[in-house]
């Protein structure tokens, strides 16, 4: 581990280095880490900004959308001036403005069954900041098949959820919790049902916190637990998430061995699984 920091780095990260659990060793782990953020929207914005501020060395951002006026109520990596520009470019500019010492790798394309394995395999940890089930299950399946830790967040209206899935290190996968996507139309999206902007900020920031913990291997992992937040009631709950021994993705009799089902689904319903952010 390279503990050779410049004077500027020591000053920039001094409040981290002061923490006994972080120190120079933890900061060096952050610098060496590679994290992929899928979706540069309401969750992806605070994620990218806090990971960059924290000094996570390489941050990939996948999103094929451009910034729209209706995004700005919650997607704080983007500005009014960036309307019409790719979200990857806008988020990268915001991250570099905070910390020019990190490397942002923008992937201005959709995450698909064809590119998900290759893309996710290039990173240590993947964060799900998408708002559609097609991409959510694609990310979840690819993360397990590539043996990568998935830090998953979701929001709708005034509610948020958060968990960490890393069955290669023990604990359940996303499909242990949700075996199949819900039927189309059953669960509304944020664009249909709305979301309080600050709720995405809280869950995205909690995701960033769990990413930093996983990289530095500090504290209690959220793997095997699901955090549920009701913002209207101001109530956080944590429920245990057991592994499903019959899980089709991570169980001993797993039937999901590749991403071919996603390619077929995209071909049949015409939705290629957009990486649109919340």
Which stretches of the chain bind Zn ion, using CB under 5 A? 173, 175-176, 247, 249-250
**DSSP summary character for residue 104:** E
CB of 67 to Zn ion, least distance (A): 35
Q: 142 CB contacts (<8 Å, ≥6 apart)?
A: 116, 117, 120, 126, 148, 259
**Smallest distance, Å, CB 244 to Zn ion?**
5
* Nearest approach, Cβ of residue 138 and Zn ion (Å): 15
Burial (CB < 10 A; 0-12, 13-18, 19+), residue 275, is: buried
* Least Cβ distance, residue 223 to Zn ion (angstroms): 12
Q: Could you tell me the strand order of the sheet in which 235-240 lies?
A: 103-107, 58-62, 34-38, 125-128, 149-156, 159-165, 225-230, 235-240
| Structure-block tokens of residue 162 | 């958060």
Minimum CB separation from Zn ion for residue 213, in Å?
22
How many Å separate Cα 75 from the centre of its chain? 14
The count of C-alpha atoms lying within 13 angstroms of the C-alpha of 104, restricted to the half-sphere facing its C-beta, is 28
Residue number, 177 or 211, with CB nearest to Zn ion: 177
The residue sitting closest to Zn ion, measured at its beta carbon, is 247
The Cα 263–Cα 268 span in angstroms is: 9
Residues 6+ apart with CB under 8 A from 168: 144, 147
Residue closer to Zn ion, measured from CB, 106 or 171: 171
Nearest Cα to 146, choosing from 111, 122, 110, 114?
122
The token pair that represents 128 in the structure block: 């799900």
Residue 178 Cβ vs Zn ion, minimum distance, rounded to whole Å: 10
Nearer to Zn ion, 50 or 137 (CB): 137
Name the 3-class secondary structure at 135. helix
- Pick 179 or 184: Cβ nearer Zn ion: 179
Residue number with CB closer to Zn ion (11 or 147) = 147
Strands 58-62 and 125-128: unpaired
Residue with smaller CB distance to Zn ion, 113 or 247: 247
Q: C-beta of 176: minimal distance to Zn ion in Å?
A: 4
CB of 92 or CB of 250, closer to Zn ion? 250
Q: Which is nearer to Zn ion, 86 or 167 (CB)?
A: 167
Q: How far is the CB of 258 from Zn ion (least distance, A)?
A: 16
């Amino acid at each position: 581990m390279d503990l050779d920091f410049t004077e500027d780095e020591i000053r920039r990260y001094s409040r981290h280095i002061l923490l006994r659990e972080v120190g120079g060793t933890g900061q060096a782990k952050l610098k060496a880490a590679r994290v992929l953020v899928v979706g540069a929207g309401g969750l992806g914005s605070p994620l990218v900004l806090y990971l960059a501020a924290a000094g996570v060395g390489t941050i990939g951002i996948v999103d094929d959308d451009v910034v729209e006026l209706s995004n700005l109520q919650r997607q704080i990596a983007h500005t009014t001036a960036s309307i019409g520009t790719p979200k990857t470019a806008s988020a990268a500019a915001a991250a570099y403005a905070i910390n020019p010492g990190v490397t942002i790798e923008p992937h201005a394309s959709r995450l698909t069954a064809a590119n998900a394995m290759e893309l996710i395999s290039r990173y240590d940890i993947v964060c799900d900041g998408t708002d559609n089930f097609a991409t959510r299950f694609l990310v979840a399946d690819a993360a397990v098949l590539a043996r990568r830790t998935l830090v998953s967040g979701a929001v709708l209206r005034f509610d948020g959820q958060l968990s960490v899935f890393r069955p290669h290190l023990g604990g359940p996968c996303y499909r242990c919790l949700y075996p199949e996507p819900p039927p189309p139309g059953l669960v509304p999206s944020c664009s249909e049902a709305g979301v309080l902007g600050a709720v995405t900020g809280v869950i995205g920031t909690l995701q960033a916190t769990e990413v930093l913990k996983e990289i530095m291997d500090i504290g209690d992992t959220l793997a095997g637990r699901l955090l549920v937040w009701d913002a209207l009631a101001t109530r956080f709950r944590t429920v245990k998430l057991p592994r499903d021994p019959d899980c089709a993705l991570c169980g001993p009799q797993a039937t999901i061995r590749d991403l071919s089902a996603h390619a077929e689904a995209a071909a049949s319903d015409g939705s290629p699984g957009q990486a649109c952010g919340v």
